[in-house]
Amino acid sequence: MEFDRNSGEGTSERRIFDPIYCNEYWHIGAKLTGHNHYPGCNCGWCLGGGNQNGGGVPAAPVTKPLRPVYSEYEKHQATQTLKGYGATSYSRCFVNPNASCPVCGQPVYFYANQHGSRVFFDELGKPWAKHPCTDNGGAASGSARLRPSSRKLADIKKILGAEQKIDQRILPVGRKARRNSWNLAVVVEVQFADFGMEVQVEDLSTENHQKYRFFIYCDQPLLAEGDLVSRRRETFSFLHPSSLEEIEVVNGDRLVDFEALEKDIDPSIVPLVVSELMPSERRHFGSGSGGTAKILGTLRSVLKDFAKKRIVGAKLVSHYLNETGRVTADGSPWTPRLAFFLIALSGVSQEKPDRQKKRNTGGKLQKARRPQPHARAKKHPRSSGPLSGNSVSQPANKTHKRRSEPAPRLSTDVDEWARMLSRLGRVSRMDDEGL
pLDDT at 103 > cutoff 80: yes
Strands 99-100, 107-112: pairing kind: antiparallel
| Cα angle value 197/199/200 (rounded, 5°) | 165
Rounded Cα gap, residues 71 and 79, in angstroms: 12
Rounded Cα gap, residues 228 and 186, in angstroms: 5
pLDDT of residue 27: 43
On whether the CB atoms of residues 235 and 249 are closer than 8 A, the answer is yes
> Looking at residues 64-68, what average pLDDT do you find?
63
Q: What is the pLDDT of residues 361-404, one digit of tens each?
A: 454 545 556 555 555 555 555 544 444 444 444 454 544 455 55
Query: What is the chain's length?
Result: 435
Q: How confident is the model at residue 230 (pLDDT cuts 50, 70, 90)?
A: very high
Which residue, 291, 127, 120, 62, is CA-closest to 194? 291
Rounded Cα gap, residues 111 and 193, in angstroms: 26
Q: What Rg do the C-alpha atoms of the chain give, in angstroms?
A: 48
Q: What is the pLDDT of residues 295-332, one digit of tens each?
A: 777 888 999 999 999 999 999 999 999 999 999 988 89
Round the average pLDDT of the chain to a whole number and report it: 75
Percent of the chain at pLDDT > 70 equals 62
> Looking at residues 118-138, what average pLDDT do you find?
80
